[in-house]
Structure 1
């Protein structure tokens, strides 16, 4: 198995993702009310003449943050306020709790863009007309939103963002996966500006001091799915045994690279089976203790695990970004996007030639708040 070196700023092609069908009434319907005048009257003081971009996601944190970056960039370019609406999150069983404020510190401004990110959005509607046009329907008509509609909106939003133009709508609703719909600097701005809750950050820092700082750490992320429909990631798992062998080969190759300190391997995965298999091959690999779902019972981003599942994900995501080398399997996972932006050395896999590892290096990828 050979390494093929690639500059860290090489262009990357978008990948297709899916979204779940939403049935029944949900927090999404609170955005949609009949009549612009009625909506404006419901707005809190100072809002009624404003224009908004609403970033709505209920998926894993990687998707949420990447899509937020795309929404922020549009808000920044068009002078709109940014609303972070993560109600109905897959990590929580409280549908009207905004998951952003559960996992991140409050933020009022991101690089000059005013931000609304707490539960006050439950009490207020946003002014129409809306874009995409589907959101102008009466609230009851918005209770069912199939995948086809979500994909259509994703494409409409992508076209709007790429056009460099604004929309006549007062409120632009970004309720689709917007990975690859913004520049890297927008992603970096999001990670500079938002911070995990202080208690979560304290756990990250404590683990880093004890287990990372004295070593050159190889971070390994293996997104398995554990029975979930993993959509765009599925081709990497067409042959599960071969996939695990690819991961193990990548670990061997990463260990053979030059390192400034003693090497440790840090594994993050959503599958107890993957943990078992990789640990058998590399007994010195270490992990952060967490709860797994039962075999084939689905992903870790599940309300069944409670908010602690989200905290565990956030800790792993931020620790991966502080590794010296990161292995991304598959590289289509948004969970390791932060690490992809920050880690000085990243190893990815070529789907067309699974024996081909791609080594991405950059002398400096500093992502420090100014």
Structure 2
């Protein structure tokens, strides 16, 4: 039986959960464009106010995965990783997770990053990659070829989630965080088993790590910087939810744990993709400063998540090596060149 939009809206108004099978039905209707923009916006608002549950998010992610255009990446995938943030943290920093993928790949991880243009930030991952010269419009098999050749693939969300066309205008007009900010990072079309996921709210740390467990992930670190960053923070403690070997642990890490100096994220703010690109290139050129330090911290965490390093600290040491040697910059240039082959 179809679960109607009216029933869903009433459920959120009553602060009651939409059950897993009901959410599957609701999401399929939303993605098929069978629910009006007004009702879609109302339901998304209701879910946000009520706070989305593990079951609701897992069901919605399952539908998005079903409908996505997949990228087939042959094994081994032990070191295969997605580094992604929900965005919507309001920090307007440069693209830390995008810089992180070049460092992680240079140090031995394989990265399939999944992202789009900015929804609520100054510069989304797609915006800064385009500024670097990346061709975003690759077919799935071309993304797979770049992963095989360079260890990096970027999946531009609109190319892999065609059904999102029914929701994109609603999201743009709403201009606030919704369930879809959470779903994008959970629906990697290449099926990377390991994920470093930054979230915009502390409540999402425990929720998202459990959603990822339900979705069959292997090694996951969900992070929230206590200075409201959807990254591992250099300016505050970072909450971590870790899934490893089927076990979930929640804990906090601090920059000082790894011999790093606390620095405010004020030094990391950018106005647009051009500024983000400039800061990112400075990091890849190993220029000292807060930007390099936060990328080393996040890349170190990514290398631990990808099972390349045994600990975050060991990952940071690896990250510093590939930044100092120029390998991270070379990896970025190789990736740009790979995507341009298909232009």
TM-score normalized by structure 1?
0.35
- The structure with the largest helix share of the pair is 2
Larger radius of gyration: 1
TM-score normalized by structure 2?
0.37
